[in-house]
Amino acid sequence: MNLIYSASKLQDFLDCERKFELKHLLRRECPAIISEPAHLVETRAELGRRFHFLTHQLFCGVPASAIFTQIKDDTLKSWFDAFLNFFPSLKGKPRFSEFLLLSRINNRSIITVFDFMQLSDNKFIQIFDWKTGPYLPSQKSAAKKIQTILYPIAVWISKENLFSHDGSRLQPLVKMCYWYPQFPDGTIEFVADQEKIQNNIDHIGQLIERIESTKIGAFRQTDNIKQCGYCLYRSICDRGKIAGKMEFKDSEDSGVFEVDFDQLTEISIEEGLHGMD
């Protein structure tokens, strides 16, 4: 299987094997609406994309006042305002914003897109991901996301290239932080030491093996029927015609599948790279 893997692809497989098959192996297009009301989902996703762009401008040195003049939307203004309060805490060097990394895990290509990463003063790698969804997940829920596992591995594997002049002095751990402009005090953090990173490399390797040993037609449909209401392929799977209602709760607590707005942002980057698969 000649596939470039990513967090969103692997997450699709964990959410529903059949969705992974339809979307990434068979590349089936389907016009179903992802969630109702559709315009709210699209508006939210667009705000997320713009927020990521604004933070990137700031890291590139554009003055905050000049960025503010571009913002017309009140929600985006409040998010960027919260980010400006958070921004001074990001002092590490070197630093990377909106950084696309292609790495190899178990001889497979993996793409990761980092919102921000830096080498902290204490010489450990810190990854930040801006999450613009409308709810704050629990630590337990965020821990289960494949992004939490995959991103620290990808950056650790590439550490010599990314932090070459500091490579020998790096602390053997990676911190992964999710920061929410709507909940600026609710940062969720995970620390992976070398043992955990190795365990996670094994875990990702096993997941890829599972994918690659499954034959077309044998990818199973999810048992979580609620998830189908948010899926573009529900008509193909005969899992209903009506889109699910957008929920503003943590899926771990509510048992309801959620739209990941920042995953939508990453997927749009990934789609531009489809030709590399």
Give the phi and the psi of residue 111 in degrees, each rounded to 5: -105, 135
Residue with structure tokens 């094997």? Answer: 17
> Binding of ligand SF4 at residue 256 (CB under 6 A)?
no
CB atoms within 10 A of CB 216: 8
Tell me if 147 sits within 8 A of 11, measured CB to CB.
yes
Q: Which two tokens stand for residue 228?
A: 């189908």
> Contacts with ligand SF4: how many residues (CB under 6 A)?
13
Give the residue, chosen from 11, 13, 19, 126, that forms a contact with ligand SF4 under the rule CB under 6 A.
19
Residue 151 vs 230, nearer CB to ligand SF4: 230
For 197-212, letters b (16+ CB in 10 Å) and e give: beebbeebeebbeebe
- Let me know: does 81 contact 43? Beta carbons within 8 Å: no
Q: In the complex, what is the shortest distance from the CB of residue 133 to ligand SF4, in angstroms, rounded to a whole number?
A: 19
Rounded to the nearest whole angstrom, what is the least distance from the CB of residue 158 to ligand SF4 in the complex?
33
Near ligand SF4 by CB under 6 A: residue from 227, 251, 263, 265: 227
- Of these, 7, 228, 259, 264, which contacts ligand SF4 (CB under 6 A)? 228
The yes or no reply on residue 222 touching ligand SF4 (CB under 6 A) is yes
Collapse the DSSP code of 220 into the 3-class scheme (helix H, G, I; strand E, B; otherwise coil) and give the result: coil
With the CA atoms of 218, 223, 227 and 233 taken in that order, what torsion angle do they form, in degrees rounded to the nearest 10?
30
Nearest CA to 114 among 132, 123, 102? 102
Smallest distance from the beta carbon of 206 to ligand SF4, in angstroms? 22
Q: How far is the CB of 82 from ligand SF4 (least distance, A)?
A: 34
* Contact flag: residue 131 with ligand SF4 (CB under 6 A): no
Token pair of 179 as six digits: 């920061």
Interacting span for ligand SF4 (CB under 6 A) from 86-94, 134-142, 232-240, 261-269: 232-240
- Single out the segment in contact with ligand SF4 by CB under 6 A; choices: 86-94, 187-195, 206-214, 227-235: 227-235
Say whether residue 237 binds ligand SF4 (CB under 6 A): yes
Residue 16 binds ligand SF4, judged by CB under 6 A: yes
Asked if omega into 137 is within 30° of 0 (cis), the reply is no
Q: According to CB under 6 A, which one of 41, 127, 231, 246 is a site residue for ligand SF4?
A: 231
Does 9 participate in binding ligand SF4 (rule CB under 6 A)? no
Interface region with ligand SF4, contact rule CB under 6 A, candidates 41-49, 73-81, 114-122, 228-236: 228-236
Question: What is the spatial distance between Cα 66 and Cα 192, in angstroms, rounded to a whole number?
Answer: 38
Q: Which stretch binds ligand SF4 (CB under 6 A): 151-159, 162-170, 177-185, 221-229?
A: 221-229
Answer for which of 10, 22, 110, 150 binds ligand SF4 (CB under 6 A) is: 22
Question: Do residues 181 and 51 touch, judged by C-beta distance below 8 A?
Answer: yes
Sign of CA dihedral 119, 122, 123, 126: negative
Would you call 8 helix, strand, or coil by DSSP?
Answer: helix
Residues at the contact surface with ligand SF4, assessed by CB under 6 A: 16, 18-19, 22, 221-222, 227-228, 231, 233-234, 237, 239
